Structure 1
Amino acid sequence: MIDLIFKVLLLVVIFAVLVVFILIKEIKRRREEIIEKIKVYIPFTSRPNPISFII
């Protein structure tokens, strides 16, 4: 039973890593477009913006 849970957890982790990897590739390709969208949705405040650190 525990072995099954571990295998499922491992699959979920691998899937999550794959999704993140694909997302990073997409963001690198469409970085400018995404930055423009974020600038429209979130007005930049005087305090440091967490999203600007991520990108």
Structure 2
Amino acid sequence: MPTVRTTMRPDQPIEVGEAEYLDLQRQGLLVEPPEPPAVMPVTKKAVPSATSKEG
């Protein structure tokens, strides 16, 4: 049995059956859990190496 939060009572988690869960989901009455913040990928800066010799 899934535990859900509804838009009518978002502060109270309730246990519902599979059919009731689908009905609530279809009606848009479920409160979605907050998404974790997006993490930006770390990019490395191009740094000239000390061993490379130019010109």
**TM-based fold match above 0.5:** no
Please identify which structure carries the higher strand content: 2
TM-score normalised according to structure 2 size: 0.22
